Structure 1
């Protein structure tokens, strides 16, 4: 008896991978919110407005999914170049998780996962500057 493997079309595979990345990013958002609520033995309770350093946040993304870190880094660079604005970690977290996520950021993550240069360029071209940051 021969076994037949079921092949998933590339688009379904891409959607499946993107779903896993979004779940991982959502977990990271929740985890980083919990980190802010913790206390530091040396400094006492952290202020509610304390923001995780971007390098640490990108490092967590890299551990969860390297494509998420790469897509987020590309998004940060594009916003900086196109808009003259450096996003804070809180802004990136909101772009990942608020209202289902920023479409261009999610497209960059998907393009990184699929190694799709055309999709990456298209997503970068569609990035809108944050309010008040446009050149």
Structure 2
């Protein structure tokens, strides 16, 4: 029970951050030089990660680890929309959530274990 109680504030903060980033069209703006974007689906990945880092630095670190692992294991990069869906559908992709938690705890061994669990859509992991 102790583990669950310690995990609750982190989980609530993370869920609030993901909800904010997932549904707010106001966040789909860039610098005046680049102009406004059509929707949050078009938000550049660096902007999305930067906003995530402002709300929850461990979430940004975990998301970056997830993106890197996905690229290496699956052979292609995720878009901002795909990453956002991985964070917000249901309880979130378990691997992504595990990587965020490992980043929060600074647990490199757990991070490595979660990377090994990553599965590519439509095929087995390499």
Q: Distance in 2 between matches of 1:92 and 1:43?
A: 22
5+ residue gaps, structure 1, are 1-7
Question: 1:13 aligned to 6, 16, 33, which one?
Answer: 6
Larger displacement relative to structure 2 (15-24 or 46-55): 46-55
1:27 paired to 2:20 = yes
- Residue 121, structure 1, aligned to residue 95, structure 2: no
After TM superposition, which residue ranges in structure 1, 4 or more long, deviate above 3 angstroms?
8-11, 33-36, 41-50, 131-135
Q: Size of the alignment, in residue pairs?
A: 125
Q: SS at 1:28's partner residue?
A: helix
Gaps of 5+ in 2: none
Offset at residue 118 of structure 1 (A): 2.0
1:85 maps to 2:79 = no
With normalisation by structure 2, the TM-score equals 0.81
Residue 16 of structure 1, CA deviation: 2.8
Change (3 A) 1:99 1:43: same
Residues in 2 aligned to 1:45 and 1:70: alpha-carbon distance in whole angstroms: 26
Contact 1:14 1:114 in 2 (8 A): no
- The 3-state SS of whatever aligns with 1:100 is coil
Normalized against structure 1, the TM-score is what? 0.77
1:62 counterpart = 2:53: yes
